[in-house]
Structure 1
């Protein structure tokens, strides 16, 4: 019985890992309104996504050392001033 429960737990964990994309929050840049816009990186606050060209997925950008990306301000700010907010998805997702 323990082996069945362990197998079930392993399957659930594998499903959850597979369903989380490493590109979560990455814009696909398929809408003109996205070009030139930045979007928060869902897994690393010291990074953000930059949509540079229509039809080309956004590029991952690192904030300078010691800074975090604040989507409400659309800029990298000192960690001491950073406030986490639930990230939203861009209009189109890569």
Structure 2
């Protein structure tokens, strides 16, 4: 049932030329080299240490591993992670 609704939303987004992340409530993840990571449309921070950050997403979570990780520009809709990113893992 859920996959049928998702398929309809994807087709609608294609017909109306609307980005799928907006229609389907998906996260948008933008990485600049291995020094900055911008996560938009998140649901909050689960865990934060200088070597690992876990961020809750609509479906699952994003695990960021690295060194000297810091959170900058915290907003309701986006988080900027700075430091040396060594690993990204999307857990569903």
TM over 0.5: no
* Larger Rg, first or second structure (1 or 2): 1
TM-score, L = length of structure 2: 0.29
Q: Which has the higher strand share?
A: 2
Structure with the larger RCO, 1 or 2 (CA within 8 Å, 6+ apart): 1
